[in-house]
Structure formats: C-alpha cells, structure tokens
Amino acid sequence: MTDSTPSHRDLALLRAVAAGRAQITRSSEPDLFIDGLACCDQVAAGRLARSGLVEPRVPAAPGRRVPARLTALGARVLGEGLGLSA
C-alpha cells in the first residue's frame, strides 16, 4: 500500500485470503502463500500482515505455515475499498 491506499495487488492478495486460498507463516516477517505457491510480492504480503489486515487463522509455532484470514480491518478495507486512514 502506498500511503493509505491499497494497490490493485494488495486488493488481489486480500481477495485470495478472503476466498480461503492463502496460507501464512508465523514469523517476524511472515510469508504468504496463495494456492500453495509463494506469493510473488513478499514485500506486499509482509506489509499487509504488519498493517493488521491479515493474520494466521490458528495459533502456530514460529515458521509454520497455517491458513490465513482477514482481520476485521482487512475485511473492511477489502469490502469498502478504504485505506488505513479511513
């Protein structure tokens, strides 16, 4: 996201998470996987996690890959097309 506006790629990643197609690793810099493949933009994936838009669906040990889910803020950003400052 640049400033508070989600990019088309950010929104595509959020849609994949919302559709249940994503997994995330628990780490200081989480990795996102879509349909079992590593996300091509790990910078964007990390930014979405650090911004509180996506998170692991279940508790996990560090480094473990688990299903990802949208947070309430992530669902709001996706559903309303809002940036973080809205």
Q: How far apart are CA 73 and CA 82, in angstroms?
A: 10
pLDDT of 80? 74
pLDDT of 3? 55
pLDDT of 25? 93
Facing residues of 22 across strands? Answer: 34
Residues near 74 by beta carbon (within 8 Å), at least 6 away in sequence: 14, 17, 18, 48, 52, 53, 54
Residue type, 47: R
> 3-state DSSP call for residue 79?
helix
In order along its 86 residues, the chain shows pLDDT tens digits of 545 688 889 999 999 999 999 999 988 889 999 999 999 898 999 999 999 999 999 998 998 999 999 999 999 999 876 554 43
- Confidence (pTM): 0.85
